[in-house]
């Protein structure tokens, strides 16, 4: 039996900066720790809700923000590990605990005595002399209570709680099914002819994937994006491309144990019911109230400006692909598994640019150094590696982050390689938020990527896309690290969903700034600087295939909005819905959704992006227009623009209304033009 004294999750953490003592934490510690922390949190909540003193901001809102630290500490360790370094034991605990935790959080927001106190403070907010940040916390918490059903009748509350709990279970199963389908697929490359066309680094990555899985094949292609996308781009073997592509887009859609279709169907029905409980006709309407966009109409207007021009551009690209295929003697029509292959050939022929020529300049360590240097030049941050600090996997690097006054402002964990125990994609997460409510608390932030690791002794080389992803996630990390707020609930990335991608996406612009590349993109063998001509070609080539990229993305956003705008409460067959909807919007037949519904984690894992996949494009309007402020100032490191960016965007967390924050940074409201221009969707001819 595990006693509490032996359980590191229930002890104070005496590690430097209070990092989790990863080496001491074992799977069996979690359930007893969760149970104890849940008990503690319930007691804290009861003390706030049943306090004899009349409700005040301090004894209700500040106390609420301060509560649940022990639980949050354990939850953050647990869910970060189940994402980055999971095991069957952790997965089993996840299945067991997810509904309990959802029920616990749901119960807090349905606590009538607690809500009565929050509501009382909210009603008297005008008389309380609150700071703007306190008012923001009050509004946020009050809104969260309403959203969680605090105003509903007793029977509706019970139903609400049951729905939320069930959705958590469905979400976990959805994610685990996708992971299982990805892990279960292996395209074995056994002979030299199976490798035809593959560049050296992809061969090495495929070989490494085989070795890690104990396979004797010379190479292995899994459904991890970092292997399958380059395979589809370079493999001369059309039959293998077709087989791999078809498996890739069928994740979550096969009959049997890992079928996500019934899970999605039930999820959608429950979401619709949830929206109706709150008086909305559709889940999209319900979700958009808590976004900068405000209504589905505002989203539809943005997507409509993009969709037809994107299709027109994709059609032009498709013609170029067909011509190239014919020139190579291929008379077949362009199928989805051909697009990336011929797009790469066009890129090479027309733009004199070859992804493989670039990669030696984009060594992972150099690009990480470039991201750190950019953060230093913009915001005065310095990153120093601490090899003595604990991490959960040998590949994770831990950095101390210091500000201009040399004080440590945060800890940054950098976890870059794909492995079987890590979920797909790239993301930022926190082990601890910045706050001051309990004394100065510095944030502990992690970035996860899924780059294919270089062979032992060889550097890991990134594609341009990988480098962009690295900067994107690092932009999210800076949002967490630069946070300067009082309350935990308003810290860092605790902002509206269509605003949260602004700090990440604007940071991508620096990845390809010539000034950054000239300093950091040094050849991994010769150490020579990236040539100007290659930078120019890179910029030029980035325009190519934007029709495809925009169609692939925007179609997902349109399907998501349509799916969640449905007003009938019955679930829907997502495969059928997807087919019908794509036909309706005129999806080009050679392009497949970037994420098909049966594995669309943004919508069905956690659900934070349900009726919200559009947010990347919404934020892109903000980031392109925002970056133009540096262009107008004449330098990508203009100190005044950088300081406004830090103050109003990266440091303000949820303390400002997003529209107000953007206006304070930019001096005016955002405009769409720079986004359309950067995607090449408007005619950019210089005036005569």
Q: Of the ranges 106-114, 154-162, 500-508, 581-589, which one interacts with Zn ion (CB under 5 A)?
A: 500-508
Q: According to the binding rule CB under 5 A, does residue 447 interact with Zn ion?
A: no
Instruction: Please give the Cα distance from 487 to 262 (Å, whole number).
Output: 40
Sheet-wide strand order for 397-402? 382-385, 397-402, 408-417, 444-451, 427-432
In the bound complex, which residue of the shown chain has the CB atom lying closest to Zn ion? 504
Closest CB to Zn ion among residues 590, 623: 623
Closest CB to Zn ion among residues 177, 448: 448
Closest CB to Zn ion among residues 544, 613: 613
Closest CB to Zn ion among residues 501, 581: 501
State the nearest-atom distance from the C-beta of 468 to Zn ion, in Å.
Answer: 11
State the nearest-atom distance from the C-beta of 433 to Zn ion, in Å.
Answer: 17
Q: Of the ranges 189-197, 202-210, 267-275, 499-507, which one interacts with Zn ion (CB under 5 A)?
A: 499-507
Closest CB to Zn ion among residues 260, 504: 504
Q: How many residues bind Zn ion (CB under 5 A)?
A: 2
Q: Of the ranges 31-39, 395-403, 501-509, 670-678, which one interacts with Zn ion (CB under 5 A)?
A: 501-509
**How would you classify the pairing of strands 408-417 and 444-451?**
parallel
Radius of gyration of the chain (CA): 25
* 632-635, Cβ contacts within 8 angstroms, sequence gap of 24 or more: none
State the nearest-atom distance from the C-beta of 654 to Zn ion, in Å.
Answer: 17
Q: Of the ranges 18-26, 244-252, 493-501, 621-629, which one interacts with Zn ion (CB under 5 A)?
A: 493-501
State the nearest-atom distance from the C-beta of 299 to Zn ion, in Å.
Answer: 18
Closest CB to Zn ion among residues 324, 605: 605
Q: Which residues contact 240 (CB under 8 A, 6 or more apart)?
A: 187, 189, 194, 231
Q: Of the ranges 58-66, 70-78, 497-505, 553-561, which one interacts with Zn ion (CB under 5 A)?
A: 497-505
Other CB atoms within a 10 A radius of the CB of residue 276 amount to 16
State the nearest-atom distance from the C-beta of 506 to Zn ion, in Å.
Answer: 11
Instruction: Please give the Cα distance from 44 to 37 (Å, whole number).
Output: 10
- Are the C-beta atoms of 224 and 230 separated by less than 8 Å? no
Instruction: Please give the Cα distance from 140 to 61 (Å, whole number).
Output: 10
Closest CB to Zn ion among residues 501, 549: 501
Closest CB to Zn ion among residues 220, 611: 611
Closest alpha carbon to 393 in 369, 420, 361: 420
State the nearest-atom distance from the C-beta of 501 to Zn ion, in Å.
Answer: 5
State the nearest-atom distance from the C-beta of 448 to Zn ion, in Å.
Answer: 12
State the nearest-atom distance from the C-beta of 503 to Zn ion, in Å.
Answer: 9
For the chain, give the longest Cα–Cα distance: 83
Q: According to the binding rule CB under 5 A, does residue 282 interact with Zn ion?
A: no
**What phi and psi, each to the nearest 5 degrees, are found at residue 490?**
-110, 5
Q: According to the binding rule CB under 5 A, does residue 504 interact with Zn ion?
A: yes
Residues with catalytic function: 473
Build a one-symbol-per-residue string for 658-687: x at contacts with Zn ion by CB under 5 A, - elsewhere: ------------------------------
Closest alpha carbon to 409 in 492, 468, 339: 492
Instruction: Please give the Cα distance from 139 to 161 (Å, whole number).
Output: 22
Look up residue 108 and give its two tokens: 């807090």
Q: Of the ranges 144-152, 297-305, 373-381, 494-502, which one interacts with Zn ion (CB under 5 A)?
A: 494-502
Q: Dump strand ranges (E) for 120-273.
A: 187-189, 219-221
Q: Which residues contact 406 (CB under 8 A, 6 or more apart)?
A: none
Instruction: Please give the Cα distance from 381 to 216 (Å, whole number).
Output: 46
- Are the C-beta atoms of 2 and 29 separated by less than 8 Å? yes
Instruction: Please give the Cα distance from 348 to 340 (Å, whole number).
Output: 12
Query: Which residues here bind Zn ion, judged by CB under 5 A?
Result: 501, 504
């Amino acid at each position: 039996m595990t006693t509490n004294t032996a359980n590191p999750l229930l002890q104070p953490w005496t590690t430097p900066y209070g990092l989790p003592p990863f080496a001491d934490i074992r799977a069996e510690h979690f359930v007893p720790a969760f149970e104890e922390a849940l008990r503690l949190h319930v007691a804290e909540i009861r003390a706030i809700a049943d306090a004899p003193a009349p409700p005040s901001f301090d004894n209700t809102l500040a106390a609420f923000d301060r509560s649940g630290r022990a639980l949050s500490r354990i939850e953050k360790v647990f869910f970060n590990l189940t994402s980055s370094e999971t095991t069957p034991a952790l997965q089993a605990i996840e299945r067991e605990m997810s509904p309990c935790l959802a029920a616990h959080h749901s119960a807090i927001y349905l606590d009538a005595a607690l809500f009565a106190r929050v509501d009382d403070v909210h009603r008297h907010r005008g008389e309380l002399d609150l700071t703007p940040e306190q008012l923001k916390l009050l509004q946020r918490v009050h809104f969260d209570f309403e959203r969680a059903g605090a105003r509903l009748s007793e029977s509706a509350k019970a139903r609400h709680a049951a729905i939320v709990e069930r959705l958590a279970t469905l979400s976990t199963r959805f994610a685990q099914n996708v992971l299982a389908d990805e892990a279960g697929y292996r395209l074995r490359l056994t002979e030299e002819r199976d490798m035809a066309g593959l560049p050296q680094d992809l061969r090495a990555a495929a070989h490494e994937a085989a070795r890690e899985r104990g396979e004797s094949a010379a190479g292995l292609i899994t459904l991890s994006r970092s292997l399958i996308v380059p395979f589809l781009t370079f493999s001369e073997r059309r039959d293998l491309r077709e087989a791999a592509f078809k498996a890739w887009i069928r994740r979550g859609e096969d009959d049997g144990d890992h079928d996500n279709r019934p899970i999605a169907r039930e999820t959608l029905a429950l979401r619709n019911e949830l929206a109706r409980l709150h008086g909305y006709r559709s889940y999209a309407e319900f979700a958009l109230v808590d976004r900068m966009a405000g209504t589905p109409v505002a989203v539809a207007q943005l997507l409509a400006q993009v969709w037809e021009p994107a299709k027109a551009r994709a059609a032009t690209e498709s013609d170029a692909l067909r011509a190239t295929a014919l020139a190579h003697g291929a008379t077949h029509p362009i199928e989805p598994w051909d697009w990336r292959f011929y797009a790469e050939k066009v890129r090479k022929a027309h733009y004199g640019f070859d992804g493989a020529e670039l990669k030696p300049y984009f060594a992972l360590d150099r690009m990480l150094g470039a991201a750190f240097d950019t953060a230093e030049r913009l915001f005065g941050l310095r990153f120093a590696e601490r090899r003595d600090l604990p991490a959960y996997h040998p590949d994770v690097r831990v950095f101390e982050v210091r500000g201009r006054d040399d004080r440590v402002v945060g800890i940054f964990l950098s976890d870059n390689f794909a492995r079987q125990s890590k979920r797909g994609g790239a993301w930022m997460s926190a082990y601890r938020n910045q706050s001051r409510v309990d004394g100065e608390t510095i944030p502990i932030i992690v970035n996860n990527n899924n780059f294919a690791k270089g062979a032992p002794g060889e550097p890991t080389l990134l594609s341009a896309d990988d480098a962009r992803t690295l900067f994107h996630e690092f932009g999210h990390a800076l949002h967490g690290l630069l946070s300067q707020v009082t309350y935990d609930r308003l810290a860092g990335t605790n902002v509206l969903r269509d605003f949260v991608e602004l700090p990440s996406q604007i940071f991508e612009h620096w990845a390809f700034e010539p000034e950054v590349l000239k300093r950091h993109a040094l050849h991994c063998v010769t150490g020579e600087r990236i040539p100007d001509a290659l930078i120019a070609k890179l910029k030029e080539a980035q325009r190519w295939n934007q029709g495809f990229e925009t169609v692939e993305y925007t179609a997902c956003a349109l399907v998501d909005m349509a799916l969640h705008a449905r007003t009938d409460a019955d679930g829907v067959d997502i495969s059928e819905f997807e087919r019908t909807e794509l036909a309706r919007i005129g999806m080009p037949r050679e392009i497949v959704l970037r994420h098909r519904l049966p594995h669309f984690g943004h919508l069905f894992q956690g659900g934070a992006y349900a009726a919200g996949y559009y947010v990347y494009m919404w934020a892109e309007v903000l980031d392109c227009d925002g970056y133009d402020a540096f262009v107008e100032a004449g330098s990508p490191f203009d100190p005044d623009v950088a300081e406004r960016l830090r103050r109003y965007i990266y440091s303000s967390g949820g303390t400002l209304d997003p529209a107000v924050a953007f206006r304070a940074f930019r001096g005016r409201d955002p405009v769409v033009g720079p986004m359309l221009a950067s995607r090449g969707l408007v005619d950019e001819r210089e005036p005569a």
